[in-house]
Amino acid sequence: MSKLPLPPGTPGLPVIGESAKLTSARFLPWVQQHYARFGPVWHTRMLLPTRVPQSFEIAMLVGPAAHRWAMVEHWRDLSWHTGYEFLNPFFESGILNSDEEEHAAAVKAVAPVFNSNYTEVYLRTVLSLCEQQLALWGTQGTRLLRDDLRLITLGSIERILFETDMEENQQRQFNTLWMTFIAGLAQMPWQRTYRQALRAKRAIDQILAALIVHEQTLLSQGQPRTNVIASLLRAREYGAYRLTDAGVMSHIRMLAFAGHETTSSTLEWLIVYLARDPALQSQVRVATNAFLRYATPRHQDLASSLVDAVIMEVMRLHPMFLMLRGVTKDLEFNGYRIPQGWMVMLSPFAAHRLPEVFPEPEHFDHTRFLAPQQVPPYAMIAFGEGKRSCPGSHLAWTMIKLVLAKILQFYDLTLDPATSLTYSSDPPPVAYQSRA
């Protein structure tokens, strides 16, 4: 393997390399140009926001074959903990940025909470939070939906994680701390938002420490509950998983971030696209009204190929921006050597826009997912693939459908058809009118 050439590329300037391309406006044109020139793999260099910022040699991989290579064939040879080193000050070894043995033990410990039979218990919470938030909207208006959807999804995730009804002031404090925390995750260490995020983390951990004591007391009294903290403590109690309280907090922070941020973002874009297309909105409303036939819908009540296809198309256009993995030994991809110590970078954001995989990639077309055979294997990686796919994808899918169903039950949504929705734009405000 040592005789294989390194990937071609243009590493850019010393130290900073091509870091300036890591903005939504510049990134896609850069990927498209390099993909056309070099194919599915090339060499670059970028400065990443580690505790001591440093540049990394990176193999950029794009396309279904690259996804299969990284997520299925060589997942054991690529380190999540190293790849997401810049997140370690915030998450240490959380469930999603830990490596093989640590990750497997954590997933096994929390699996019962994400089982469909358990998640049905929490559907009432999702519906209740959604109704509370929608009660503030009034009969008509125009609003940015981000804060509303974040409050709904964060509250629902909190119920899954620690099953505790906080007092109103404590709930407000936790939500404020959490928003401060996630605002600094991708910032450089010298930036103020980064330091504020670390302070928020310490305050969040004080709240989590009290919740851990509470769950540990219930466990010792023979009254264990069904939530993530309790599941992790049970696994520790019975010797199945060696884990400190700090480790429990790491997993909770990571699960809250992954489950809340992705879900609320998908919901926001989903509502925007439906507001722009009244005919599709009406079709989806008919399907989602069926979700609400019962006071507490069951998981099996949420089946709809149309709604699934619309959500998939939103996730295609607005997925995770980047994925990073550390290379633990020399590897080969597409005839090139990727050396130990490099990083592998994947981009769902770019890969989901390859025209040979998704024709007219910037056009919203949910019908491409109504016939799954049209989409090649490993082309869509919204929730990852293989052994490291998202353990909470089932919960996220359920939450998205329920919140959407409630909003469409109460409101007609509109958006000027001329509103530009580009890959680098933020979701615009949506107008709403009560259906009552």
pLDDT digits (tens, 9 = 90+) for 281-327: 999 999 999 998 877 777 778 889 999 999 999 999 999 888 999 99
Collect all residues with Cβ–Cβ distance below 8 Å to 138 and sequence separation of at least 6.
434
**How many residues in total does the chain contain?**
436
Pairing of strands 343-346, 54-61: parallel
Give, to the nearest 10 degrees, the angle between helix 245-276 and helix 278-289: 130
Residue 427 sits at φ, ψ, to 5 deg, of: -60, 130
Confidence of residue 24 (pLDDT cuts 50, 70, 90): low
Q: Is the pLDDT of residue 376 over 80?
A: yes
Q: Looking at domain 19-434, what is its CATH homologous superfamily?
A: Cytochrome P450 (1.10.630.10)
Query: Residue 159's pLDDT is what?
Result: 79
Mean pLDDT for all residues in the chain: 87
Q: Is the pLDDT of residue 211 over 80?
A: yes
Query: Residue 106's pLDDT is what?
Result: 79
Closest-CA residue to 329 (of 74, 87, 97):
74
**Residue 365 DSSP SS3:** coil
Global pTM value: 0.92
Least confident of 107-111, 175-179, 311-315: 107-111
Please give the angle made by the CA atoms of 261, 151 and 22, to the nearest 5 degrees. Answer: 25
Query: Residue 51's pLDDT is what?
Result: 64
Q: Name the burial class of residue 421, with classes exposed (0-12), middle (13-18) and buried (19+) by CB atoms within 10 angstroms of its CB.
A: middle
Query: Residue 115's pLDDT is what?
Result: 67
Query: Residue 117's pLDDT is what?
Result: 58
Beta bridge partners, 332, equal: 337
More confident residue, 240 or 432: 432
Q: Is the pLDDT of residue 116 over 60?
A: no
Q: Name the burial class of residue 36, with classes exposed (0-12), middle (13-18) and buried (19+) by CB atoms within 10 angstroms of its CB.
A: exposed
